[in-house]
Structure 1
């Protein structure tokens, strides 16, 4: 049964770029690994291979930011490898002021083996272990970021890390089968049953989804947000599809705001402190508002505020933190300080430069076809 499940899951979900977008060389003098393309070589980026518990060697890259206090572990989408994600990773590290580790799943890029659901779980486990052993990153300083199919290994790891700082889900899926069919129950051969795991995550969760996503319905992100125990205000990008969310100015600003808020929270050493006091009253009202609201994306975000605001009251017990949450001036300052590398954050010219940078990233994402789960729909008739 297990073999049949793995085979079915692989047929549903895995389509690594062929050929890989990068090759690896080893410098003779230093013995360090680098991408062969000179455009993918920076002093603050480490390239290395990790051995997983299932016997595969996966390629990973670590982007160092000397002023960062948090580290993002990024699981990319289906039709991508870290060669294609290289510039996105390095830009996110700068703009969000974080360290960032990205990795290729087994069978992706120059990683060995063949992709499967269980292999991706072993892959992200090896990447997370690397953060602690090689870079001294603590669990409570780690943010897991899962894009599309990457939401699967992200949530699998998240439910096993009790002191995780936060989770970001970017165009996530409820499950592999639910991308193609509106099934009401999880079936034995389904893959990445995120709908059954999200309620077990006890750290703050940010969900980002485009309202016009043609690959993974907006309903997937919305439902996962409704089931979150620790909701952060979601980002519903009106008109956004599966491949262009980086083009929206709100994407970067909302991520930065989330990182800033997470930095100010106490480390989640006691998971009981993270549970909202009145979650049952929050979810229905906010979920209905987000589903029915047809105003611009900034309005979608505002509808999510009551849930996060209520949760913040249960988490921040000191007077100083309460005042920070209720003070408009201080909140604006925290928004403007999300990027310590951008000293003139409130400058119109500098903000425009940041937007242009992510416009280029968005164009790159679109040009390399990072549609992540599009192939799932193509196989529906064959299953």
Structure 2
């Protein structure tokens, strides 16, 4: 099977990768210019009471795209800032509600972005472009918004685990990494029998994740039939600094956020990061109270 795939698709040209990996939906939001700045306007149902927390901005990339991004201010004194990289068929309008719940529950700010060609971002999606996208947002977060790298937790879901691993392997001082439904590589995903890395492969997470120094939490649904559970197990086995993973018994590729165990494990993971580096915590009792995570699981 693997040889057939190689002969039919040598050596995985970017046009094939784009067709297989990227499925941008019709935009589900718009960014409006108002007299007081940019405004994020979702076209899907989002808690309007919380929308004031969503601050849109744009970031240029070295590939020439202008990326639509959002900064969600969910805590007065955030424990961490979560830099989110989403799946291949989502844009910010579809995930901003989840980001708001996540940030408010964990006591963290959240930054999200759309890949080139998604949502209000210009350009075309590609593997190379996706890494450039993530790098541009990283520099905006650290350089423009002055968030220290050691206060950033990188969080990738599905396709988004590729740019998350890319960033974490290059920026060793990030506080931690969450990989939700990670995959080993494009070729291994298409051809389950492949056990080695070919030069034609794309999104080679399995060989790059070992370069990540930060603690890595792997989360996977045991019933995932899009990215099988074995991918999560293999990724975990290659991590240099893994923590206790979360294997969700009733979890598939799309329903993990509905499981209370996910929210609990994310909360305990951040607590582990704080315990390992006490200097990361808020500096006063008032700040600790203002950034404390919610005790109500928003599922």
Both structures adopt the same fold (TM-score exceeding 0.5): yes
- Higher share in strand: 2
1:71-110 to structure 2, matched below 5 A, reads 71-110=81-120
1:318-357 to structure 2, matched below 5 A, reads 340-342=292-294, 345=295, 354-355=296-297, 357=298
Structure 2 unaligned residues grouped into runs of 5+: 1-9, 280-288
Q: Please tell me whether residue 34 in structure 1 is matched to residue 58 in structure 2.
A: no
Q: TM-score, normalised by structure 1?
A: 0.68
Alignment partner, residue 64 of structure 2: 55
Aligned Cα RMSD in Å? 2.3
Q: Please tell me whether residue 133 in structure 1 is matched to residue 143 in structure 2.
A: yes
Alpha-carbon deviations, 1:164-207, whole Å to 9, x = none? 11110000010112112121122223211000111111110000
The answer (yes or no) to whether the contact 1:140–1:267 under 8 Å persists in 2 is no
Q: Please, which of 241, 249, 252 is the counterpart of residue 260 of structure 2? A: 249
SS in 2 for 1:113: coil
Alignment partner, residue 275 of structure 2: 264
Q: Please tell me whether residue 16 in structure 1 is matched to residue 24 in structure 2.
A: yes
Alpha-carbon deviations, 1:222-247, whole Å to 9, x = none? 11111111111000001211011111
Q: Please, which of 44, 48, 52 is the counterpart of residue 43 of structure 1? A: 52
The answer (yes or no) to whether the contact 1:33–1:48 under 8 Å persists in 2 is no
SS in 2 for 1:191: coil
The answer (yes or no) to whether the contact 2:176–2:214 under 8 Å persists in 1 is yes
SS in 2 for 1:9: helix
Q: Please, which of 214, 220, 229 is the counterpart of residue 218 of structure 1? A: 229
**Residues 1:3 and 1:193: Cα distance change in structure 2 (over 3 Å):** closer
Q: Please, which of 170, 173, 180 is the counterpart of residue 163 of structure 1? A: 173
The answer (yes or no) to whether the contact 2:11–2:199 under 8 Å persists in 1 is no
Q: TM-score, normalised by structure 2?
A: 0.87
The answer (yes or no) to whether the contact 2:76–2:290 under 8 Å persists in 1 is no
Q: Please tell me whether residue 238 in structure 1 is matched to residue 243 in structure 2.
A: no
Q: Please, which of 78, 87, 98 is the counterpart of residue 68 of structure 1? A: 78
Structure 1 unaligned residues grouped into runs of 5+: 269-336, 346-353, 359-383
Q: Please tell me whether residue 177 in structure 1 is matched to residue 187 in structure 2.
A: yes
SS in 2 for 1:124: helix
Q: Give the distance between the partners of 2:290 and 2:272, measured in 1 at CA.
A: 9
Deviation at 1:23, TM superposition (A): 1.6
Q: Give the distance between the partners of 1:120 and 1:128, measured in 2 at CA.
A: 12
Q: Give the distance between the partners of 1:32 and 1:178, measured in 2 at CA.
A: 42
Q: Give the distance between the partners of 1:253 and 1:144, measured in 2 at CA.
A: 18
Q: Give the distance between the partners of 2:12 and 2:232, measured in 1 at CA.
A: 29
Alignment partner, residue 229 of structure 1: 240
